[in-house]
C-alpha cells in the first residue's frame, strides 16, 4: 500500500479503514505526525495515532470520500476531502458522520506520500 499522489493518502486511508487494517492506517502517517482524533483533541506520534484509529476500527466503519489537492509545493501538499462515515455508535446503534477534512502530506525520499497533519473534522474543529 503506497500513496503515489497526495490524494492517494485519503483514498488509501478509506480503503484501510473499511477493511479494518490498523497497521495499514498507521503506515500512512509520518512517525511524528499529528492527528485530530476528535474535535479539538490532537494526538502526535505513532502510538497516539494507533490508539486513536483503533477506536474507529473497533466501530467497524464504512467510509466514502472524494479527495482533491488544494495546493502543492514540491514535496508538500494540502489535501481536502468530503467524507461520509457509517458505523456502530458507542450505544450499539448505527451512527453516521460527515465532514470535510484538511491534511498536510509530504512526499518521502522513496516517493510515498504520508500524512504530516490530519484534521478530519476540518480547521473549525
Q: Rounded to the nearest 5°, which phi and psi values hold at 39? A: -50, 120
Q: pLDDT confidence of 92, banded at 50, 70, 90?
A: confident
Judged against a pLDDT cut of 80, whether residue 77 lies above it is answered with: yes
| CA-based R_g, the chain, Å | 14
Cα atoms in the Cβ-side hemisphere of radius 13 Å centred on 83: 27
In a domain, 125, yes or no: no
Q: What is the pLDDT of residues 45-65, one digit of tens each?
A: 999 999 999 988 988 899 999
Total-model pTM = 0.93
CATH code of the domain in which 62 resides: 3.10.450.50
**What is the residue whose three cell numbers read 470520500?**
65
Residue 89 has pLDDT above 90, yes or no: no
Give counts: helices (H), strands (E), the chain: 3, 6
Domain that holds residue 53: 6-119
Q: Let me know if residue 124 belongs to a domain.
A: no
Number of domains in the chain: 1
Q: Classify residue 48: in a domain, yes or no.
A: yes
Residue 1 lies in a domain: no
Amino acid at each position: 500500500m503506497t500513496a503515489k499522489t497526495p490524494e492517494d493518502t485519503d483514498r488509501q486511508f478509506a480503503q484501510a479503514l473499511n477493511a479494518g487494517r490498523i497497521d495499514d492506517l498507521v503506515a500512512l502517517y509520518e512517525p511524528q505526525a499529528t492527528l485530530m482524533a476528535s474535535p479539538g483533541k490532537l494526538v502526535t506520534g505513532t502510538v497516539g495515532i494507533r490508539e486513536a484509529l483503533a477506536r474507529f476500527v473497533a466501530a467497524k466503519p464504512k467510509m466514502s470520500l472524494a479527495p482533491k489537492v488544494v495546493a502543492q509545493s514540491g514535496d508538500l501538499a494540502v489535501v481536502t476531502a468530503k467524507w461520509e462515515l457509517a458505523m456502530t455508535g458507542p450505544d450499539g446503534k448505527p451512527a453516521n458522520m460527515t465532514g470535510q477534512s484538511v491534511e498536510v502530506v509530504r512526499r518521502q525520499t522513496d516517493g510515498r506520500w504520508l500524512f504530516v497533519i490530519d484534521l478530519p473534522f476540518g480547521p473549525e474543529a
